[in-house]
Amino acid sequence: MVRIIAEAGVNHNGNREMAFELVKVAADAGADAVKFQTFNAERLAALTAPKAKYQQTTTDAFETQLAMLKKLELPTAWHAELQQYATDLGVTFISTAFDLQSLAFLQTLDLPYYKIPSGEITNGPLLLAFAQTGKELIISTGMATLSEIEQALAVVAFGYAHKAEPENLDQVWRYWSAPGVQASLGGRVSLLHCTSQYPTPMEEVNLKAIGTLANAFGLPVGYSDHTQGLVVPTAAVAMGATIIEKHFTLDRTLPGPDHNASLEPGELTELVNNVRSVELALGDGIKKPQPSEWDTRKAARQQVIFSETVEEGEIIQRSALSTARCGRGASPMTLWDIVGKPAPQAYQKGDVPE
């Protein structure tokens, strides 16, 4: 079953009431999980860190990234309450940590799994710490090359097996190349194909990369979507995505960096319904008549029929046979086998040979 993660992210805008309302929207839509982001702005961004272009467009262009992030922090005091509220509503609460201290805090909440954001796929110490929690990991791969993804997986594999940090990267690679290590990530790690642009242009979505990642690493691959609308994440399920992550908001016109590329509540519900419909439509891949087709098969297929009178014992000529929908009788595939044989009985025009 495709796991649907409703990404609230920073769309709470630092407002407690909005954060709780986002949880309710995710639960009402039928999402499996609602995800926030846990970070300390001072630890995440330097004072001089620039904003991405999309952030300059969607927020104050003269504001620093640090100042923007400070307003979007999710206070630690809210987490346990949000988690309990989510549990009461039947949706799983998770959050992404962007620094070691935030990850340590999230561990106190005993989350079922962790999502590693695209920007941290080259952050070796943080990747290691995620793996050392022993929890299931979902790794987003926006902006990454295949070699960077493999390096991240090598660090994660090392972290699952070791409590201490490696002495150097060579030690990580030596462990990664040991028999059975790569296979050990099965059931513990999933990848998310992603394009880290908000919103993502259609020509940069590259859904075929889902198959590329699956073939390269033998792991389940999902899709984290930043396009506008529902088409792409729905199509991703048909392409084999096992997880769909999608940003959502209470109102796309709200100020903030991610609202513009997010779904509104009704759209989130529609996305969940679309994903579940595609899951059903994918089937088991075995080509066979479906249960509802048997009646149509009987009514729609033609059978052999006599197009002229034939006497008993007469050699049946090709001209005496035709096909029509009869609801019974021999398949037209057997018509040529009947030609040239003596008629076992007399037939009138329109009779069906049994």
Domain that holds residue 68: 3-282
Q: What is the mean pLDDT of each run of 10 residues along the chain (354 residues)?
A: 96 94 98 94 65 62 69 90 98 96 97 97 98 98 98 98 98 98 97 95 98 98 96 97 97 88 96 98 96 95 98 97 96 97 97 91
State residue 334's pLDDT score. 96
State residue 159's pLDDT score. 98
Give the pLDDT confidence of 225-282 residue by residue, as tens digits. 999 999 999 999 999 999 999 999 999 999 888 898 899 999 999 999 999 999 999 9
Sequence-distant (6+) residues with CB within 8 A of 167 are none
331 and 218 share one domain: no
Domain final residue, candidates 282, 311, 337: 282
> 350 is written with which tokens?
């329109």
162 and 303 share one domain: no
306 and 254 share one domain: no
Distance between CA 349 and CA 326 in Å, rounded? 13
> 336 is written with which tokens?
């040529």
Strand order in the sheet with 221-225: 92-97, 33-38, 3-9, 243-247, 221-225, 189-194, 136-140, 113-116
Strands (DSSP E) along 135-286, which ranges?
A: 136-140, 189-194, 221-225, 243-247
CA of residue 134 relative to chain centroid, distance? 23
300 and 325 Cβ atoms separated by less than 8 Å: yes
Domain final residue, candidates 233, 255, 282: 282
State residue 48's pLDDT score. 64
What is the chain's length?
354
Burial (Cβ within 10 Å: 0-12, 13-18, ≥19) of residue 246 = buried
122 and 33 share one domain: yes
294 and 167 share one domain: no
Domain final residue, candidates 282, 314, 337: 282
257 and 55 Cβ atoms separated by less than 8 Å: yes
Give the pLDDT confidence of 148-161 residue by residue, as tens digits. 999 999 999 999 99
State residue 258's pLDDT score. 84
315 and 271 share one domain: no
Answering whether pTM is above 0.85, one says yes
